[in-house]
Structure 1
Amino acid sequence: MPSQVFEKEQSAFIPLLRAEYIAPFVARLKDFENNVYPLIEQAGLPESLLTNEYDYVSEQAVLNLLKLMAEKLGRQRFSEWLYQVARSIFIPQHLAKISLKGSVRQALIDFTHVVNLESKQTQVHLKTALKKVWFARFRQKEDPIEIDLSEQFALTMMVELVRAVTQTHWQPIDIALQSSNEAHYLNVLKLNESQVFYARNVTALSISDAVLDGPVKLKEGWDSTLKTIVESPKGFIASLQFALLPYMSSGRLPITAAADLLGLSVRTLQRRLSEEGVSYSQMVEGIFFQQAKTLLLNKDIAVTQISASLGYADVAHFSRAFKRMSGFSPRVFRQNNQPK
């Protein structure tokens, strides 16, 4: 896909990451910090992240966290930690969504399907170029630090994925990197035999046919039960709603705070909303309304609890807001929508 087309498609949604991947990753911050919540808050991640209450988090907040950890730990220690976390958390999570009954080539193709379905901001492919097969990943980002950190994470994942399905200390023949900076973390990944090319338009590893055509090999006792793959939200409004949802329990989020959490300027956020024909306040009201309706359908959750979870000062404020949006009080709505 040409880069300009991919950039245009990226502008049509808010980059999101599945919370099922990020929550265990954030929990591993306890390797260094007894109280991880100050780091979570500083990065702009929702405090509720570790409760697994929501489906998605903003990718920008995760990148903020990576930057904070890189500064805190230093390059070498951060690279070693990221390497261990990728091996122990992210690789098993992704392998659990792939059948792994065929060749290494098929496993990598299946992996690209998972990533491209779950994450629209990154495209991963197995492609042939220059008479070589490349495991390639493309994404566009302006911040040079974020380019380096996201590429380091991606390369770590790609290398360790091949090693996991071959049960070897595999090294790619060639490595292409988008970064123009020296990749200090290659030593941590034990990639001393690979030829490295910098300032490319993709992150890619060349893989021999002998490796690709070999059978998948896994550790003894691997649980072959497949986990569900969930497609990421389509469209700007849907992805924005999922990105902001985890923050709404603390009350109305000002547009300035929302823009900051998403790595956008207020003007850009307002422009994109205007193009969709909706204002920021209308979109926020919609999020609260959908949340309220979902919670009210569960008769075991008290209305007072729902009001508090949505950040309202008291039940009276919640009831007035809900009636304005639906035409019914919360209790009448609940009565009218109980199973017959």
Structure 2
Amino acid sequence: MQSKRHAKKLTSSTGVMSSNKVETSIAAVDAGLEGAFIPLLRAEYIAPFVARLKDFDNNVYPLIEQAGLPASLLTSNHDYVSEQAVLNLLKLISAKLGSKRFSEWLFQVARTIFVPQHLAKITLNGTVKQAIVDFTHVVNLESKQTNVHLKTGLGKVWFVRHRLKNDPIESSVAEQFALTMMVELVRSLTQAQWQPADIALQSATEVDYLNVLKLNQPQVFYGRQVTALSISDSVLAGKVKLKNGWQQLMSPVVEGPKGFVESLQFALLPYLSLGRIPVTTAADLLGLSVRTLQRRLSEEGMSYRQMVEGICFKQAKEMLSDGAISVTQISATLGYSDVAHFSRAFKRMSGHSPRVFRQNISID
């Protein structure tokens, strides 16, 4: 049973995580970003996570397909996947496992996959505060739909995460995932069973996963605009402590796509082998209405068909530059029904057949 300390729900007049001190500035930034791009996640994080579905189900592909993730996620080197599809997957896993088992599984996945992956991208020879600041830079650069920061308010330092709320269930599992990551990050940096003194949650009601995270001491405030943990000055000032024998292999940080069209192109790229994706299917995969998708493209001066053809043309040129990939293989990879159809489409866009285009590359 949760302690009574977990049952406190605050209004904006209470002062804790006061909206005019911490929340408003972040919310204003996010409001300006809404609709500016398609929310994406790096596939390098998601592919190992999806592979761990085999912990409880040997055949993971029905879940992958139901969530709307590309079936090739585990076998191909994609750059990004739609965040909406990942949220769909989290909801499905939660429903399949039940609340307690899902929380325990997510806890283990965060510790063994997501936290180590992010530790490989930040500096670990300074203080805990420096490492967390580096972490926020990585997250904000790679995932532009989420804002993560260290903020000072009411004499405390808060590790804050803010994202726009849509579907209540998606928001709940996304917040659980984020909180698990934040707690385990600090514990990994301190090599201690660290506990925040205060937690702020966007959830309007009490959540039971705090017990799985062994968070049975903090004061918890519900119904906030942000997810946040207070971190003491002594913890922040401490030197990073790493697990004995742990060696850091640095991984590159890649900035997320800029703008709506570029993010949409990356989001749809993993699905090209399925053929020409109808706009209705694309909208479902991305959590948008067809009207919104078409309106945003129109504002960029293009149609959905033009955008898809542009993706195919770009990929075709890149693959044609590799002489080891046959034109037949390129045609199949890009979802064309046959080589003749691909050749006609490519000639229409480039003025040359694929073979002539490849020959000209070789000559150059």
Which of the five TM-score ranges fits, normalised by the shorter chain?
over 0.9
Partner AA of 1:170 in structure 2: W
Task: Return the alpha-carbon distance in structure 2 between the equivalents of residues 181 and 248 of structure 1.
Answer: 41
Alignment of 1:36 with 2:52, yes or no, is no
Task: Return the alpha-carbon distance in structure 1 between the equivalents of residues 127 and 357 of structure 2.
Answer: 54
Secondary structure of 1:125's counterpart equals strand
Indicate the residue corresponding to 2:284 in structure 1. Answer: 260
Distance 1:52 1:211, change over 3 A: farther
Task: Return the alpha-carbon distance in structure 1 between the equivalents of residues 142 and 93 of structure 2.
Answer: 25
> 2:99 aligned to 69, 72, 75, which one?
75
1:212-291 matched pairs, under 5 angstroms:
212-291=236-315
Indicate the residue corresponding to 1:164 in structure 2. Answer: 188
Indicate the residue corresponding to 1:110 in structure 2. Answer: 134
Stretch deviating more after TM superposition (45-54 or 240-249): 45-54
Deviation at 1:322, TM superposition (A): 0.2
Task: Return the alpha-carbon distance in structure 1 between the equivalents of residues 362 and 135 of structure 2.
Answer: 42
Alignment of 1:302 with 2:326, yes or no, is yes
8 Å contact from structure 1 (residues 98, 107) kept in 2: yes
TM-score (norm 2): 0.92
Instruction: Give unmatched runs, 5+ long, in structure 1.
Output: none
8 Å contact from structure 1 (residues 14, 240) kept in 2: yes
Partner AA of 2:276 in structure 1: R
Secondary structure of 2:148's counterpart equals strand
Partner AA of 2:188 in structure 1: A
Indicate the residue corresponding to 2:162 in structure 1. Answer: 138
Indicate the residue corresponding to 1:196 in structure 2. Answer: 220
> 2:149 aligned to 116, 120, 125, which one?
125
Alignment of 1:64 with 2:88, yes or no, is yes
Task: Return the alpha-carbon distance in structure 2 between the equivalents of residues 79 and 68 of structure 1.
Answer: 13
Deviation at 1:10, TM superposition (A): 2.7
8 Å contact from structure 1 (residues 10, 120) kept in 2: no
Task: Return the alpha-carbon distance in structure 2 between the equivalents of residues 194 and 42 of structure 1.
Answer: 37
Partner AA of 2:190 in structure 1: T
> Following superposition, which runs of at least 4 residues in structure 1 exceed 4 angstroms of deviation?
none
> 2:171 aligned to 141, 147, 165, which one?
147
Alignment of 1:174 with 2:198, yes or no, is yes
Partner AA of 2:174 in structure 1: S
Secondary structure of 2:90's counterpart equals helix
Indicate the residue corresponding to 1:84 in structure 2. Answer: 108
Deviation at 1:2, TM superposition (A): 4.3
Deviation at 1:8, TM superposition (A): 2.6
Percent identity, aligned pairs only? 74
Deviation at 1:11, TM superposition (A): 1.1
Task: Return the alpha-carbon distance in structure 1 between the equivalents of residues 166 and 72 of structure 2.
Answer: 29
Secondary structure of 2:195's counterpart equals coil
Deviation at 1:147, TM superposition (A): 1.1
Secondary structure of 2:212's counterpart equals coil
Deviation at 1:220, TM superposition (A): 1.4
Indicate the residue corresponding to 1:3 in structure 2. Answer: 27
Secondary structure of 1:233's counterpart equals coil
Task: Return the alpha-carbon distance in structure 2 between the equivalents of residues 87 and 217 of structure 1.
Answer: 16
Task: Return the alpha-carbon distance in structure 2 between the equivalents of residues 213 and 2 of structure 1.
Answer: 25
RMSD: 0.9
Stretch deviating more after TM superposition (106-115 or 308-317): 308-317
8 Å contact from structure 1 (residues 99, 224) kept in 2: no
Deviation at 1:339, TM superposition (A): 6.0
Task: Return the alpha-carbon distance in structure 2 between the equivalents of residues 136 and 52 of structure 1.
Answer: 34
Stretch deviating more after TM superposition (161-170 or 305-314): 305-314
Report which structure shows greater RCO (CA 8 Å, sep ≥6): 2
Partner AA of 1:279 in structure 2: S
1:107-156 deviation digits (Å, cap 9, x = unpaired): 00000000000000000001100100000001112111111110000000
Partner AA of 2:124 in structure 1: L
Indicate the residue corresponding to 1:332 in structure 2. Answer: 356
TM-score (norm 1): 0.99
Secondary structure of 1:337's counterpart equals helix
Alignment of 1:51 with 2:75, yes or no, is yes
Partner AA of 1:205 in structure 2: L
Stretch deviating more after TM superposition (237-246 or 304-313): 304-313
Secondary structure of 1:57's counterpart equals strand
> 1:24 aligned to 42, 48, 60, which one?
48
Task: Return the alpha-carbon distance in structure 1 between the equivalents of residues 344 and 265 of structure 2.
Answer: 23
Number of aligned pairs?
Answer: 340
8 Å contact from structure 2 (residues 346, 354) kept in 1: yes
8 Å contact from structure 1 (residues 173, 206) kept in 2: yes
8 Å contact from structure 2 (residues 26, 147) kept in 1: no
Task: Return the alpha-carbon distance in structure 2 between the equivalents of residues 7 and 261 of structure 1.
Answer: 22
Partner AA of 2:51 in structure 1: A
Instruction: Give unmatched runs, 5+ long, in structure 2.
Output: 1-24
